[in-house]
């Protein structure tokens, strides 16, 4: 292959999400002369960012104390707060758990927050390269030395295609990985350095989101609703949100825990069904859906945090898993983790050649921070639902919150999500109503609103490790669950009526949610880094 050019930095950050940009800003605040680079696979900063989102400003207050004088676009102070239990036709208001109180928080577009943080970072001298997908980690003598980014035109066989570009080696003394949930380079680092040894399996949820514009008379700026119950059954963890921000905009979505057992369940269709509830229909009718997206999120919390450092690098943000599940917030904890890693890197840079390649100060600083205390206090709530189901989980959550106050003398365990899926034959099939095109929609029209695009001539970034497994496992046992859990219509079982089922992968539809990499029953699907700039291109507001 052609020789690559290279660039050298003091610190390289993979991913322009909240943690990566917070790390970059903090580094330049502490070490103005340090050279800092951020690479981002999206076509621009914020293009691949998706969240509810309600922002708790604790970390942002520490990073940029005067940020309210120049806030991100659409940032709306939280106002009304409600927690509802839904049946198919009724909504019952429940006491809002203390972790879900939002006084002092802001309804935001997380994509806009990242664009705003990116501008702040660049003003400090940080170099940001969007459209540069980090496809390979540079490791020499066991030490991470940076990444290879911007590679194009490599065939599945690893050969140079007609549009081959060798990419560039971005080298650094320290590399911080902030890839977000289920990072493709992070997966390999965890295996190489044993970062998950001695910790619980990570567990995940799939978040599906739509952005609506509704009639002005129904819009209450800062209104926040969370619901539980219908349409999900009691053996499936999940819930929904409705957040009102900006001018007549509503963020609405659902998170479904990916440890759900019924292979026939479709998170996308559950989200569509949710909108038909009478109370939700009242809000959306007469409005217009203007954007769509989906993303997996880490739900393992405290007991699933891996080892964070290794020679030459560290994990930050949601690639390590700092989401506070009961609070339904992780931006503040992700940002703080990036800031703490940056502080450790700044000290190492100051020490010069005498500095060790491992940023040991970062994990210890995290253990002494409010992030550790916050996650430790809610560690038993999410696994309680997996262990005891919906009602038992609710009782456990109340006990953990009001009786033990996060100090129970035990820690509940997690299990790998894919292991929870049950075979198709004994499971109850679910009949989902057809979309009406006004309130409910199909997958392909939804993907269109995500502005997803991959160049047609690029190699597929979704691969079966062993294609021969699909028929006897995914089809014969589970009836192609990937065709249902994928929220973008990527996976399609064809030839069924002819008695010769086979899998078609429409990789160009992929919105980079990573669900297939998580939920495949035998972990046979490998989500690899696609060429830079591809995937969704979420608009401001998402």
CB count in 10 Å sphere of residue 291 = 24
How far does CA 336 lie from the centroid of its chain?
17
Question: Residue 181 catalytic?
Answer: no
Tell me which residue of 194, 190, 192 sits closest to 139, measured CA to CA. Answer: 192
Tell me which residue of 279, 249, 236, 268 sits closest to 91, measured CA to CA. Answer: 279
H and E: helices and strands count for the chain: 13, 24
CA distance 175 to 14: 7
Query: In a 3-state reduction of DSSP, which class is residue 343?
Result: helix
List 226's β-bridge partners, or say none: 83, 241
For residue 459, give the DSSP letter: P
Choice among 31, 450, 513, 515 that is catalytic: 513
Up-side HSE of residue 170: CA atoms within 13 Å toward CB?
Answer: 29
Annotate 373-394 with b (16+ C-beta within 10 A) or e (fewer): ebbbbbbbbbbbbbeeebeebb
- Contact predicate 299/382, CB 8 Å: yes
Tell me which residue of 473, 475, 519 sits closest to 494, measured CA to CA. Answer: 475
User: What's the residue count for the chain?
Assistant: 542
Choice among 173, 295, 443, 484 that is catalytic: 295
Choice among 135, 304, 516, 529 that is catalytic: 516
Q: What is the DSSP string of 92-156?
A: EEEPPPGGG--TT-EE--HHHHHHHHHHHHHHTT-EEEET--EEEEEEETTEEEEEEE--EEE-T
Tell me which residue of 449, 321, 465, 232 sits closest to 19, measured CA to CA. Answer: 321
Question: Residue 450 catalytic?
Answer: no
Encoded tokens for 403: 């009786």
Question: Residue 486 catalytic?
Answer: yes
Task: Say if residue 166 is exposed, middle or buried (CB neighbours under 10 Å; 0-12, 13-18, 19+).
Answer: middle
Question: Residue 37 catalytic?
Answer: no
Choice among 19, 31, 35, 51 that is catalytic: 51
CA distance 332 to 55: 7
Choice among 37, 114, 181, 510 that is catalytic: 510
- Contact predicate 501/495, CB 8 Å: yes
Instruction: Please list the alpha-helical segments (H only) found in 10-75.
Output: 18-30, 58-63
Tell me which residue of 258, 257, 281 sits closest to 86, measured CA to CA. Answer: 281
| Percentage helix, strand, coil for the chain under 3-state DSSP, each rounded to 5 | 30, 25, 45
Question: Residue 51 catalytic?
Answer: yes
Choice among 331, 421, 450, 529 that is catalytic: 331
CA distance 252 to 539: 15
Choice among 37, 114, 181, 486 that is catalytic: 486
Question: Residue 528 catalytic?
Answer: no
Task: Give catalytic residue positions.
Answer: 51, 295, 331, 486, 510, 513, 516
């Amino acid at each position: 292959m052609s020789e690559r050019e290279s660039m050298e930095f003091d610190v390289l950050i993979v991913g322009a999400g909240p943690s990566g940009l917070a790390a970059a800003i903090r580094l330049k605040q502490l070490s103005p002369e340090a050279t800092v680079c951020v690479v981002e696979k999206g076509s621009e900063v914020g293009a691949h960012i998706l969240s509810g989102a309600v922002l708790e400003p604790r970390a942002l207050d520490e990073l940029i104390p005067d940020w309210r004088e120049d806030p991100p676009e659409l940032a709306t102070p939280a106002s009304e707060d409600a927690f509802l239990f839904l049946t198919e036709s009724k909504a019952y208001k429940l006491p809002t758990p203390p972790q879900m109180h939002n006084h002092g928080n802001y309804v935001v577009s997380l994509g806009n927050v990242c664009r705003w943080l990116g501008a702040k970072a660049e003003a400090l001298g940080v170099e940001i390269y969007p459209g540069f997908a980090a496809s390979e980690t540079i490791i020499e003598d066991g030490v991470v030395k940076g990444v290879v980014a911007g590679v194009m035109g490599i065939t599945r066989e690893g050969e140079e295609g007609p549009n081959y570009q060798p990419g560039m080696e971005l080298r650094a003394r320290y590399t911080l990985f902030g890839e977000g949930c289920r990072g493709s380079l992070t997966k390999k680092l965890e295996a190489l350095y044993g970062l998950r040894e001695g910790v619980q399996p990570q567990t995940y949820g799939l978040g599906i989101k739509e952005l609506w514009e509704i009639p002005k008379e129904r819009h209450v700026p800062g209104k926040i609703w969370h619901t539980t119950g219908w349409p999900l059954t009691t053996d499936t963890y999940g819930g929904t949100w409705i957040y009102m921000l900006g001018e007549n905009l509503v963020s609405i979505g659902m998170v479904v825990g990916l440890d759900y057992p019924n292979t026939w369940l479709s998170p996308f269709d559950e989200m569509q069904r949710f909108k038909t509830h009478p109370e939700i229909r009242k809000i959306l009718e007469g409005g217009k859906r203007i954007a769509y997206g989906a993303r997996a999120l880490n739900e393992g919390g405290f007991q699933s945090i891996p080892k964070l450092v290794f020679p030459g690098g560290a994990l930050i943000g949601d690639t390590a898993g700092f989401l506070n599940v009961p609070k339904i917030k992780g931006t503040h904890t992700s940002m703080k983790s990036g800031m703490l890693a940056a502080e450790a890197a700044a000290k190492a840079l100051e020490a010069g050649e005498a500095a060790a390649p491992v940023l040991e100060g970062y994990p210890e600083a995290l253990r002494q921070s409010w992030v550790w205390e916050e996650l430790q206090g809610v560690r038993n709530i999410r696994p309680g639902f997996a262990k005891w189901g919906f009602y038992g989980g609710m009782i456990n959550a109340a006990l953990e919150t009001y009786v033990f106050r996060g100090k129970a003398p035990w820690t509940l365990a997690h299990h790998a999500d894919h292991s929870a899926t049950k075979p198709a034959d004994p499971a109850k099939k679910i009949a989902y109503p057809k979309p009406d095109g006004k309130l409910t929609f199909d997958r392909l029209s939804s993907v269109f609103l995500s502005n997803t695009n991959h160049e047609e001539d690029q190699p597929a970034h979704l691969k079966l490790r062993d294609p021969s497994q699909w028929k006897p496992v995914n089809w014969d046992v589970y009836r192609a669950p990937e065709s249902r859990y994928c929220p973008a219509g990527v996976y399609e079982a064809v030839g069924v009526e002819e008695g010769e089922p086979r899998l078609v992968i429409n990789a160009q539809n992929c919105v980079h949610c990573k669900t297939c990499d998580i939920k495949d029953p035998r972990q046979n699907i490998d989500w690899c880094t696609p060429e830079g700039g591809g995937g969704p291109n979420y608009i401001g507001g998402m």
